[in-house]
Structure 1
Amino acid sequence: MESMERAGTVPQILIVDDVDANLMILENIILEMGYEPRCAGSAGEAAKLITERLPQLILLDVFMPEMDGYEFCERLKENPITRDIPIIFISAADSSEDKVRGFKLGAVDYIGKPFEVTEVTMRVKNHLKLYEMQQELELSNRRLHSVISSQARRIEEEQKNILYALAALSEEKGASSVHHLENVAYNCRLLAQSLQFSPGYSEEISEAFIDTIEVASRLHDIGKIQTPCRIQVEGDSFEPERADILERHVQQGTAILEKVYASTSENSFLPMAIEIARFRYAKWDGTGYPKGIHGKNIPLSARITAIVDVYDDLLEKKHGEDSGNKAEILRIMEEGSGTFFDPEIVDVFLKVQKQLHHEEG
Structure 2
Amino acid sequence: MEQLATGRVLIVDDETFYIDVLVELLGEHYQVSVAKSGEQAMKRINDGFRPDLILLDVLMKGMDGYQVCAQLKATPALADIPVIFLTVKSDVDSEMHGFELGASDYIVKPFSPPIVRARVSTHIALAKSRQALKAKNILLEERVQERTEEIARTQDVAIYCMASLAETRDNETGKHIRRTQHYVKSLAEALVDHPRFQQQLNEEYIDLLFKSAPLHDIGKVGVPDAVLLKPGKLDAAEWEEMKKHAEYGKEALENAESEYGSSDFLCVAKEIAYGHHEKWDGSGYPQGISEEQIPVSARLMAVADCYDALISRRVYKPPFTHEQAAQIILDGRGKHFDPAVVDVFEAIQDRFIEIAKEYADDDYE
User: Does TM-score exceed 0.5, indicating one fold?
Assistant: yes
Does the aligned pair in 2 maintain the 1:188–1:214 contact within 8 Å?
A: yes
Secondary structure of residue in 2 paired with 1:82: coil
Matched residue, 1:126: 122
Which residue identity is paired with 2:19? L
Matched residue, 1:234: none
Which residue identity is paired with 1:11? G
Matched residue, 1:43: 38
Matched residue, 1:68: 64
| Superposition pairs of residues 1-361 of structure 1, within 5 angstroms | 10-32=6-28, 34-51=29-46, 52-176=48-172, 179-198=175-194, 200-227=196-223, 244-245=240-241, 248-265=244-261, 269-291=265-287, 293-316=289-312, 319-320=318-319, 325-356=321-352, 357-358=355-356, 359-361=360-362
Q: Gaps spanning 5+ residues in structure 2: where?
A: 229-235
Matched residue, 2:233: none
Which residue identity is paired with 1:128? I
Secondary structure of residue in 2 paired with 1:284: coil
Deviation at 1:146, TM superposition (A): 1.4
Range with greater deviation from structure 2 (337-346 or 15-24)? 337-346
Percent identity of paired positions between Structure 1 and Structure 2: 34
Deviation at 1:85, TM superposition (A): 1.0
Q: What is the alpha-carbon root mean square deviation over aligned residues?
A: 2.7
Range with greater deviation from structure 2 (63-72 or 202-211)? 202-211
Range with greater deviation from structure 2 (309-318 or 39-48)? 309-318
Structure 2 CA distance for aligned equivalents of residues 203 and 349 of structure 1: 20
Structure 2 CA distance for aligned equivalents of residues 294 and 28 of structure 1: 85
Does the aligned pair in 1 maintain the 2:310–2:319 contact within 8 Å?
A: no
Deviation at 1:168, TM superposition (A): 0.9
Aligned residues: 342
Deviation at 1:26, TM superposition (A): 1.8
Deviation at 1:217, TM superposition (A): 0.5
Q: TM-score, normalized by length of structure 1?
A: 0.85
Deviation at 1:220, TM superposition (A): 0.4
Which residue identity is paired with 1:38? S
Structure 1 pair 59/220, CA: closer, same or farther in 2 (3 Å)? same
Which residue identity is paired with 1:47? M
Which residue identity is paired with 1:348? V
Matched residue, 1:236: none
Deviation at 1:171, TM superposition (A): 0.9
Secondary structure of residue in 2 paired with 1:114: coil
Which residue identity is paired with 2:186? L
Which residue identity is paired with 2:122? N
Structure 1 pair 45/295, CA: closer, same or farther in 2 (3 Å)? farther
Deviation at 1:226, TM superposition (A): 1.3
Structure 2 CA distance for aligned equivalents of residues 21 and 348 of structure 1: 78
Does the aligned pair in 2 maintain the 1:159–1:267 contact within 8 Å?
A: no
Structure 1 CA distance for aligned equivalents of residues 159 and 5 of structure 2: 52
Matched residue, 2:231: none
Secondary structure of residue in 2 paired with 1:314: helix
Deviation at 1:212, TM superposition (A): 2.7
Structure 2 CA distance for aligned equivalents of residues 178 and 158 of structure 1: 17
1:109-166, Cα deviation, whole Å (9 max, x unpaired): 1111112112211211111121121111111111111111111111111111111111
Which residue identity is paired with 1:304? L
Secondary structure of residue in 1 paired with 2:107: strand
Range with greater deviation from structure 2 (92-101 or 276-285)? 276-285
Does the aligned pair in 2 maintain the 1:177–1:316 contact within 8 Å?
A: no
Q: TM-score, normalized by length of structure 2?
A: 0.84
Deviation at 1:267, TM superposition (A): 7.0
Structure 1 pair 100/296, CA: closer, same or farther in 2 (3 Å)? farther
Deviation at 1:248, TM superposition (A): 1.8
Deviation at 1:319, TM superposition (A): 4.2
Secondary structure of residue in 2 paired with 1:55: coil
Structure 2 CA distance for aligned equivalents of residues 277 and 288 of structure 1: 14
Structure 1 pair 93/347, CA: closer, same or farther in 2 (3 Å)? same
